[in-house]
Structure 1
């Protein structure tokens, strides 16, 4: 499958004010579906990590999807997409990352995201993948958003996971707005990490720890209602709240991203991969996403413009619908309509 790009230049209606008639198939974004099961799994060093599963997918499931969210994220934000894939016949699982959402903290406080090394997260996903794959029907699809997309790609590059196909939403392959070479930015981050406590916050998030800045929506989505869903979950499950990353996280992020930039790393990944990105992203670097798509032998890129912000799967309906349709089409082509139990 050759690399190809689909660019969506059509501007979406970003008002999100029109109300449609009640839909009997509507998905409640503020409730765990009754048929989904929340539980936890343990890492080899006995760290408990939350997960949610949609175990039933009909008599002949199309296969299985494992979804991994971004930095500071929680799976509650993606219930709509997860439920939609389940209704399409997939057996669906989503998981926290160690040290995020309802899976503890690795730093000095409850709102700063810290990690000693991204390799720990790669180890975690490899461990989860091994057991999850053995218990779920094929084909097996691995999906990740932002930092989750980065870690999915790294785990694939290191041959720690072996999905039949992968989908990366706004993968964190570079940071937005860097004016200096990545090597210089990495050096600066390393200096800041060594200058003080590596677990201290790398940027100011709000005057009050845990409080969401008013302008945060402008980085994430045009959809006010979907953004409010996240705030609702934060209020009702305060353990989900996370603010800035630590200097340790920033330095390790640069190191991890640079590892994927090395020659022949992405070129060795033969698995079909769909990347979704937007030139309007103010968190991750769209140029880096495009470069990665070109390097992947079976890479495809769906590129949005001003109509989409970072959280494409939580955008207004015209944007999100195009993204979900593209994912469905990609999975039809890349993973087929279902295989035997794996």
Structure 2
């Protein structure tokens, strides 16, 4: 089983990491964090780009990022524009919003091209939840070509309360038409009709790792983000539906590992399983009730299994050059 090579304080930026920023093509300033592999940048095992989920900030994943740096990888993570400490779209800083998911796709394309040129191969993209959807879409559109793609609970579809996705899409469009596009789609927590007291159970069974996020909210209040806007919901569903056409995933040649749990309350695991079958070079690691949405922030038993699968997958599909 995978074990940390060193103990990290998950509530502090390690001295081995460097925080900085980069500018998107339109000038939007976005945060990033980088580690050189512990063996030295020139001797790196390869390079990993980690893309977090909706409402996330890279501080939540310091433990995993540092784990791979300690294993010799050069590691980079970046906020999404409008999240973390990379600005906001709306006057209310706690409402997650985007003009269109294509903006994030353009950001990935622009950043990845520079990152790939600067960092030694092999190149691996690891992405969680919304980041997983965006990484999948960007790869399917041929905008990035990593040696391996690893997706943790990817948002290939949202939970729809048993209704067809088209019905949810129509309702979101109606709310936008009513002028509520910039209003939050729910009140608190991570999904509609869910009390904040239930948020921890939705995300992870590990109370200490869950508390790490709350500690970062207190330490860096600007990273906190609340519910998504109705416009975000409508654009998210439109982006999800864009991958449904024949050939969209079937023609993607990048080796892809998907990790998911049937107990996920935020993304559709049924869709993850179905989409994995559409990919020509893929495999899936599936958990049950022992795991919640944030697989890389779960209890050690779950997290270690994820790391083992990831390590084996990278050794197979992204061997050191």
User: Is 1:76 the equivalent of 2:59?
Assistant: yes
Match of 1:301 in 2: 284
Match of 2:220 in 1: 237
Q: Is the 8 A contact 1:111 1:244 kept in 2?
A: yes
What is the deviation of 1:262? 1.2
Q: Distance in 2 between matches of 1:63 and 1:56?
A: 8
Match of 2:270 in 1: 287
Cα-to-partner distance string for 1:322-341 (whole Å, 9 max, x where unaligned): 011110011000111x12xx
- What RMSD, in angstroms, separates the aligned Cα atoms of the two structures? 1.3
Equivalent of residue 97 in structure 1, options 62, 72, 80: 80
Q: Is the 8 A contact 1:177 1:282 kept in 2?
A: no
What is the number of equivalent residue pairs in this alignment? 311
Equivalent of residue 43 in structure 1, options 24, 31, 39: 24
Match of 1:30 in 2: 11
Q: Distance in 2 between matches of 1:257 and 1:96?
A: 21
Match of 1:7 in 2: none
Q: Is the 8 A contact 1:108 1:200 kept in 2?
A: no
User: Is 1:150 the equivalent of 2:133?
Assistant: yes
Q: Is the 8 A contact 2:37 2:70 kept in 1?
A: no
**4+ residue segments displaced more than 4 Å:** none
Q: Is the 8 A contact 2:82 2:97 kept in 1?
A: yes
Q: How does 1:1-342 map to 2 (within 5 A)?
A: 25-59=6-40, 60-205=43-188, 213-336=196-319, 338-339=320-321
What is the deviation of 1:29? 0.6
Q: Is the 8 A contact 1:108 1:199 kept in 2?
A: no
What is the deviation of 1:24? 8.5
User: Does the residue aligned with 1:264 lie in a helix, a strand or coil?
Assistant: coil
Higher RCO (C-alpha under 8 Å, 6+ residues apart): 1
Q: Distance in 1 between matches of 2:23 and 2:301?
A: 39
Match of 2:192 in 1: none
What is the deviation of 1:176? 2.0
Deviates more, 1:63-72 or 1:47-56: 47-56
Q: Distance in 1 between matches of 2:160 and 2:109?
A: 32
Q: Is the 8 A contact 2:5 2:71 kept in 1?
A: no
What is the deviation of 1:107? 2.0
What is the deviation of 1:65? 0.3
Gaps of 5+ in 1: 1-22, 207-211
Deviates more, 1:243-252 or 1:105-114: 105-114
What is the deviation of 1:108? 3.0
Q: Is the 8 A contact 1:55 1:91 kept in 2?
A: yes
User: Does the residue aligned with 1:167 lie in a helix, a strand or coil?
Assistant: strand
User: Does the residue aligned with 1:281 lie in a helix, a strand or coil?
Assistant: coil
Deviates more, 1:291-300 or 1:191-200: 191-200
Gaps of 5+ in 2: 190-194
Cα-to-partner distance string for 1:57-89 (whole Å, 9 max, x where unaligned): 425211000001000001100000000011111
